Each structure stands twice: as C-alpha cells, then as structure tokens.
C-alpha cells in the first residue's frame, strides 16, 4: 500500500482507492442496523470521516480494513441511541387467539426491520459465487437474528464469520484485544443459536423453481384466489407483516388470514417481481377507493424445494420507489 503524505488529501486517489468498497460497506452497515436507509446514511458518514482522515492514512492497514474500522464504529455509535429492529416473529410466538384481523402496532412503540434491495449491493459484473455467499449473509432470518445480539458482539460475529477478518484484524477494527474478540464471539454464537431459526436451504432467486413460487404467490393476490396459495405455501409456512404484531404459523392459518382479511377482490392488487435480501420478492400495489393502484410495500419470500417457507410483508409505501419502481402503477 502506498503511503500518502500529510497535507491536503488527493480527492481522485481517495475515490479510486475507496469507491470499490462502497457496496460491501453498505451491506455491512445493513447487517449491523437492519435498515437499508439507515445503512445508506451510515455509509455516507463513513466516507465523510474517511475523507477527513485520508491525509493521515499511512497505509499501515489495507484501505478495506481501514474503511471497515470507520464504518463499524459509525454503526456502533449510531446503535447507542437506537432501538433494535425486529420482525413480528421477534416479539413472541405466533398468534393463536380468537379469529380477528391482525392489529397494527404504533410506529413509536416498535422499530421494524426493513428489506434490502439486491440492486443496492450486487455489482453488475460481480462473480456469481461471491454474490451467492453475500446473499446468504443477508437473508432476512439471519439479519433479524443478528439484531438480538449486543452491538459489539454483533460486529465481532459479522467481521469474523461473514467478512472473514482474522481475530487480530477484528480486534484492531474494534479497538480491543484478540482475547476479547474470541470470548465475545463465543458469546455471540451461543446467543445466535438461541434466537436464529433453523437454517433453511433456500432456492436462489434465479432458480426457475423459486420464480414459479413467486409467480404463484403473485397470481393468488392478483386474482384474489386463496386456493392458489395451497399450491405454493409449505404446510409449515409462516406469515408475518409489519407493522402488525400478530403473525401466523401453518399453511392453513396463513391462507385463512390472507383469504379473510387481505385478498379482497380480483384486481385489487398488482405485484412486480424483484429481489431483496438475496430472496425472491415483489413490490406491491393496492387499489385505493378512487381506483388507482398505489404503492403499498414489499413482500419477501423464502422459497424451498417443498414450497414457500416464509412470507414477510413490509407495509411501507416508501419502499416501492426505494426499489426503483413508481409510486403509482400505470395501467
């Protein structure tokens, strides 16, 4: 690594040396905080701090590890003043009370986990094998589980087991000792074993079987046909949606809730396929009282060879333009 003289930083050199890490730093910050928008803000802060410190960077570490040190500490500072982000399944067991429509929870009570558009972190010319590994480390179930770890333990686990930094490098990034990293990592693994659901062997989004499951789910909504859900959901499928605290377990319960309270009539919904968190997804539009199909949110599916294992719907209209789609569906 070439040393940089102290004094005025070289903007062109800074851009050349740091820009190629932006996507992976965004993924890192997302793993830490569970929000794509927050992660984007934290990456902006990372590059601002890196630019200010660049003239003093002397190449004692790689540019990559130097940026990760800044980004990790930016995230840790941000997490000191923020509640952890969760999915409904992180609040307790599935709803098994009397039949009723799911109840929303006020936004001031809960900070919800959000999805990450694949397009934000997948380079257009990236190595396919590397992309698959990155997708696996961004699955919704894993991100949700990571949020339950103390922030520094979360950072240790991500740096060591996702990003493959050595224990010594992780200690340098976090400003601690190698022994502290090893003990913290042990505690993080133990806690993750307690909160992480059994890992699923998910199909890749480009797999024709995954696309067929997504198409079937979309068709069920656009035709308002609950029977189509029988063909795509696994018998043990789960259904959860923010900002609703209730979530459902088992295909029969999922279909009942969707058919009774959600599907409506044919033409009420339109969905456009996309990908999020390395999983098949769709941006969702719902017809309003004036007949206009307006942005409603994003749904993310967990497809397996036996069917869809998990459906997570994010009721947040602002997500649709975040995924690159218009707020109103043009008919």
The domains of the chain, with CATH numbers, are 84-139+202-331 (3.10.450.50)
pLDDT digits (tens, 9 = 90+) for 130-179: 666 678 899 999 999 999 999 999 999 999 999 999 999 999 999 999 99
The alpha-carbon radius of gyration of the chain (Å, integer) is 21
Q: What rounded mean pLDDT belongs to the chain?
A: 92
The structure's pTM equals 0.93
Tell me the mean pLDDT in the region 80-93: 92
* Percent of the chain residues past pLDDT 70, beyond the cut: 93
d(CA 280, CA 301) in angstroms, rounded, equals 6
pLDDT at site 81: 87
pLDDT value at residue 5: 43
């Amino acid at each position: 690594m070439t040393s940089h003289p102290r004094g005025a930083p070289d903007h062109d050199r800074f851009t050349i040396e740091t820009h190629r890490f932006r996507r992976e730093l965004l993924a890192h910050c997302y793993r830490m905080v569970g929000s794509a928008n927050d992660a984007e803000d934290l990456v902006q802060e990372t590059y601002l701090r890196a630019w200010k410190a660049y003239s003093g960077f002397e190449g004692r570490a790689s540019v990559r590890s130097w940026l990760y040190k800044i980004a990790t500490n930016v995230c840790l500072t941000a997490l000191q003043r923020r509640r952890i982000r969760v999915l409904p399944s992180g609040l307790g067991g599935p709803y098994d009370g009397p039949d009723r429509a799911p109840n929303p929870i006020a936004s001031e009570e809960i900070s919800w986990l959000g999805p990450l558009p694949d397009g934000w972190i997948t380079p257009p010319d990236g190595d396919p094998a590397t992309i698959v590994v990155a997708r696996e480390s961004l699955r919704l179930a894993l991100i949700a589980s990571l949020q339950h770890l103390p922030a520094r333990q979360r950072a240790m686990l991500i740096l060591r087991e996702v990003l493959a930094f050595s224990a010594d490098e992780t200690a340098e990034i976090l400003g601690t000792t190698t022994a502290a990293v090893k003990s913290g990592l042990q505690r993080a693994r133990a806690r993750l074993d307690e909160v992480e659901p059994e890992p699923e062997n998910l199909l890749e989004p480009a797999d024709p079987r995954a696309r067929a499951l997504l198409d079937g789910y979309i068709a069920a909504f656009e035709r308002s046909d609950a029977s189509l859900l029988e063909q795509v959901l696994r018998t043990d499928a789960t259904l959860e949606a923010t900002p609703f605290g209730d979530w459902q377990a088992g295909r029969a319960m999922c279909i009942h809730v969707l058919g009774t309270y959600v599907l409506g009539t044919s033409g009420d919904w339109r969905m456009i396929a996309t990908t999020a968190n390395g999983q098949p997804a769709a941006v969702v539009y719902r017809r309003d009282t004036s007949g206009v199909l307006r942005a409603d949110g994003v749904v993310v599916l967990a497809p397996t060879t036996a069917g869809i294992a998990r459906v997570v719907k994010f009721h947040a209209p602002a997500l649709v333009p975040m995924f690159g789609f218009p707020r109103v569906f043009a008919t």
